[in-house]
Amino acid sequence: MEIILSIVLIFMIIGALFALHARDLLSALISCGIVGYGLVICFLLLKAPDLAIVQIVVETITLIIMIAVVLDSTRHELKKTAIERKWKSLINSKALVNVLITVIIGIVLLYSFRLAITHLNPFGEHTLRMSEAYLYGGADKTGSANLVTGILFDFRGYDTFGEATILFTAAIGVLTVLRIKGRK
């Protein structure tokens, strides 16, 4: 299980790196889709079918919106002269300092992350604390066979209500930002 997940994750990282360096914005968006659909496979392997259904549809709708935005404007990356500037700056002595700073910051962040997860259980040996009450009493209390829905709408109802409010606010915000004609 761990090996398959690692392979999917490495594939996702390669797709992410390609998406950030693509010359064409359309191919960048399609490689962004690699990462999103790889996440769906991870959710299915981790026994979370609810999340997989939501993520596969949400990723498709996000891609539709992004492609609609990009097709209206310039598809190409910013400057043709970017390659020349890259070669020029490689010769420049500043480039070495920049790469060194990036590597040092990456190593420091990884080391602090390693320190932060030392008290976490290793993968696959999670101990239930709060969730034990949800798992063994939740079905009798709510009457719902799907425990995720039971938690979402009964024990954590405030969360769902706040989420619905945020979605409402975002729709109102998009309508306000994209309005051209004023109301008479």
Partner 1 sequence: MTLFILCFVLFLVGLYGVLTRKNIIKIFIGLSFMEFSTFLFLVLIGYIEGGIAPIISKNITNPVYVDPLPQAMVLTAIVIALAANSMLLAIAIKIYKKYGTFDIRKISNLKG
Partner 2 sequence: MKGMSSIVKKTTQLLSGMIFLYGIYIITHGHLTPGGGFAGGTIIAASLIILVLAFGSDELTMVKRKEGSSVTESLAILAFLLFASLALIIGTNIFFHNYLPEGIIGNLISAGVIPLYNILVGIEVAAALFTIILAFIIYKEEISK
67 is an interface residue for partner 2 by CB under 8 A: no
- Residue-level length of the chain: 184
Among 124, 158, 182, 183, binds partner 2 (CB under 8 A): 158
Total residues contacting partner 1 (rule CB under 8 A)? 80
Residues 66, 29 contacting (CB under 8 angstroms) = yes
Among 113, 117, 180, 183, binds partner 2 (CB under 8 A): 180
Residues 30, 66 contacting (CB under 8 angstroms) = no
16: exposed, middle or buried (Cβ count in 10 Å: 0-12, 13-18, 19+): middle
Task: Scan residues 12-31 and list those touching partner 1 (CB under 8 A).
Answer: 12-13, 16-17, 19-20, 25, 28-29
Q: Which does 130 bind (CB under 5 to 8 A by kind): partner 2, partner 1, none?
A: partner 1
**Which residue's CB is nearer to partner 2, number 2 or number 72?**
72
Tell me the C-alpha to C-alpha distance, in Å, between residue 89 and each of 30, 82, 96, 100: 30, 10, 10, 15
Residues 160, 168 contacting (CB under 8 angstroms) = no
Indicate left, alpha or beta for 124 from its phi (over 0: left) and psi (-120 to 50: alpha). Answer: left
Among 91, 95, 134, 137, binds partner 1 (CB under 8 A): 134
Binding-site ranges for partner 2 (CB under 8 A): 49-50, 53-54, 57-58, 60-61, 64-65, 68-69, 72, 139-146, 148-150, 152-154, 157-158, 160-161, 164-165, 167-168, 170-171, 174-175, 178, 180-181
